[in-house]
Amino acid sequence: MSEHSSVGGVRLVSLFIIFLLSSMIYSPKVLAESEWEEDGWLKTSLAQERLNKGDEFGCYGMQGLSWQNDPGAVALECREYIEDRLIANRWGDNPISTFTPDSLTQTQHEQISRQGFMVHGDNTGAQSSAWHSVSDKPLDMWDWYNLGRRGGSLEQIVGSKEQVETAVNEGGLVNLYWIGRVNDATIRHDRDIEEYISEDAEAWLTTWGQAWSYWATTRCYQIDHSISSVGENYVLSFESLITEECTNLIPARWNLPVTWIIDINQSEVLSIAAESGILDDITGERHTKEGYMIDDGQYLHLSIVNGNRANITIEQNEYDIRGISEFWNNHSAAITIAAHETTDLFKWSKRFVDQDDLVFTWLVQPRPLDGESNWIPYVAFSVGVGVIITMLLVLKREGLGPLAKKDEQ
C-alpha cells in the first residue's frame, strides 16, 4: 500500500471521529435538554395523589424539538421524560396519550405511535377521527390520531355547562379542553361545569389512555368460562385471559377493568368472589374500578381486569356471555378533561386539590429555561469543539491525524 493511501486512510478515520463527536453534540436529545428544566412536582407526593384520583400523565411536547421537523424524536424524548419521573396511570405505567399539532401527516402520526403514543389530540386534522360527534365511533387504531373535542372547554366564559350536558346526554366520549395558565396569567375554570360533572353527569369519568385501552380490548380478547353445581346453587367461573397473541398485537394497552355483560336469566346473584378478593357492588360508580352491577335482574355487568378469575354464585345454571359494554360499568357516555401545556403540576392542579370527582389527562412538558440561560447550548458546543481540537493536537504530537506533518520521500 502506498504512503498516500495510508495518509488518506488516517485522515478519513480522523474525519469520521470528528463527525461522530459532532453528531453527539448536535443530537436532538442534547439540544433539547439544554433548553428546558423539569417540573419537579412530577416526582413528589402531589403527582401520586393525582394518580390515586385516577388521573393520567401524557405528553404535550419538548422544548427545543419540533413536532413538524422530527415527531419521532419529540415523542421519544417526551416518553422518556415522563417514564423517568412517574407512571402514566394507576392502570398502566407506559404513556399512551399525547398532544399533536394539526399539521402532521399520516406518516408522522405513525412515527409517534411507534413510540407508544396511541391517542393523539385533539382536533389534529387527520383524515380519520374518533368522537368528533356521537356517531364518530372509532373503528381502527388510526382513528385515535384525531380525537375530537365535543365537550368544548372547561375555561370560564369559553366553556358552557349546556354544551357539556347536551353532549353527555347524547352519549359517547365527551372530551373537554383545559389549560391552567398562559404565561403568568391564571385561567379561571367554569364552576358550573365543574359542579355538573362532579354531581350530576351520568358518565364514566376517565382519561384518554383509559378510554383507548378499554376500546382496544374489544379488538382482541379471549375468555374462559364454565358453570358447576355446588350444593343447591351454581358457581359460574369467568376470566378474561391474558394471552400472548393479544399482548403482542396491542402492547400499549393498559390492563384496566373491562365490563362484561352476562345474561343470568333473572337468577339471583348470591356472591361474587375474584382471585383479588370479594368484588363490590359498583352500581352508579363513575370512577374506574373492579366490581359488578345488576341490571333489572337480567344482566350482570362484571367489571374486571384480565387475568383475574371471578366465581359468581347464582341460583340457576343458565347464562350467556353477551360481550363487552361500550363504556365501563355500562355507562352510555364518558368524560375526559385534557390539561394542555402542563409545565407546573402544582399551579395547574391546586384549585382542584379538594375535588375528588374530576379526572384529568395532564399533557406535560418541561419548562423553558429563562432567557438568561440561552447561552448554555453555545457553551456546550464550545466545550465539544475544544475537546475535538485537543484530541487532534494530541494526535499531531504523536505523528497521527490530519494535522500531523508527513515525512517527504
Helix (H, G, I), strand (E, B) or coil at 365: coil
Residues 70, 48, single domain; the answer is yes
Residues 159, 79, single domain; the answer is yes
Q: 36-59: per-residue pLDDT in tens? A: 899 999 999 999 999 999 999 999
Q: pLDDT higher for 86 or 391?
A: 86
Q: 70-82: per-residue pLDDT in tens? A: 999 999 999 999 9
Q: pLDDT higher for 35 or 236?
A: 236
- Tell me which of 270, 303, 326 is where a domain ends: 326
Residues 77, 121, single domain; the answer is yes
Cβ pair 126, 104 in contact under 8 A: yes
Length of the chain (residues): 409
Q: Is residue 129 part of a domain?
A: yes
Q: Is residue 135 part of a domain?
A: yes
Q: Is residue 308 part of a domain?
A: yes
Sign of CA dihedral 127, 133, 139, 142: positive
Residue 159's pLDDT is 87
- Minimal CA–CA distance to 151: which of 384, 399, 338, 285? 338
DSSP code for 399: T
- Tell me which of 311, 326, 341 is where a domain ends: 326
Place of cell 403527582: 47
Q: Is residue 243 part of a domain?
A: yes
Q: What does the mean pLDDT of the chain come to?
A: 88
Query: Rounded mean pLDDT of 1-12?
Result: 50
Residues 113, 262, single domain; the answer is no
Residues 168, 194, single domain; the answer is yes
Q: Is residue 407 part of a domain?
A: no
Cα distance between residue 268 and residue 264, in whole Å? 8
How many structural domains compose the chain? 2
Residues 357, 226, single domain; the answer is no
Residue 369's pLDDT is 83
Residue 376's pLDDT is 52
Beta strands 119-121 and 97-99, pairing class: parallel
360 backbone dihedrals φ, ψ, rounded to 5°: -115, 145
Residue 304's pLDDT is 98
Q: Which residues of 248-262 are buried (b: 16+ CB within 10 A; e: fewer)?
A: eebebbbbbbbbbbb
Residues 308, 352, single domain; the answer is no
Residues 364, 289, single domain; the answer is no
Q: Is residue 195 part of a domain?
A: yes
151 pLDDT more than 50: yes
Cβ pair 151, 140 in contact under 8 A: no
Q: 275-324: per-residue pLDDT in tens? A: 989 999 999 999 999 999 998 878 999 999 999 999 999 999 999 999 99
Residues 43, 168, single domain; the answer is yes
Instruction: Tell me, rounded to whole angstroms, the distance of Cα 296 from its chain centroid.
Output: 36
Residue 297's pLDDT is 79
Grid cell for residue 398: 504523536
- Tell me which of 269, 299, 326 is where a domain ends: 326
117 pLDDT more than 70: yes
Residues 230, 125, single domain; the answer is no
Cα distance between residue 356 and residue 223, in whole Å? 34
Which residue range is the domain that position 353 belongs to?
36-203+332-368
Residue 23's pLDDT is 52
**CATH assignment of the domain containing 298:** 2.60.40
Q: Confidence band (pLDDT; 50, 70, 90) for 25? A: very low
Q: What is the DSSP string of 97-155?
A: EEE--TT--HHHHHHHHTTT--EEESS---SS-BSSSTT----SGGGGGSB--TTEE-B
Residues 53, 170, single domain; the answer is yes
Helix (H), strand (E) at residue 364: strand 360-364
Cα distance between residue 84 and residue 86, in whole Å? 6
333 pLDDT more than 70: yes
Q: Is residue 401 part of a domain?
A: no
Q: 182-240: per-residue pLDDT in tens? A: 877 788 899 999 999 999 999 999 999 999 999 999 999 999 999 999 999 999 999 99
Residues 159, 77, single domain; the answer is yes
Helix (H, G, I), strand (E, B) or coil at 37: strand
Q: Is residue 392 part of a domain?
A: no
Residue 394's pLDDT is 65
162 pLDDT more than 90: yes
Cα distance between residue 329 and residue 291, in whole Å? 9
Residue 16's pLDDT is 52
Cα distance between residue 242 and residue 240, in whole Å? 7
Cα distance between residue 278 and residue 286, in whole Å? 19
CA atoms within 13 A on the CB side of 47: 21
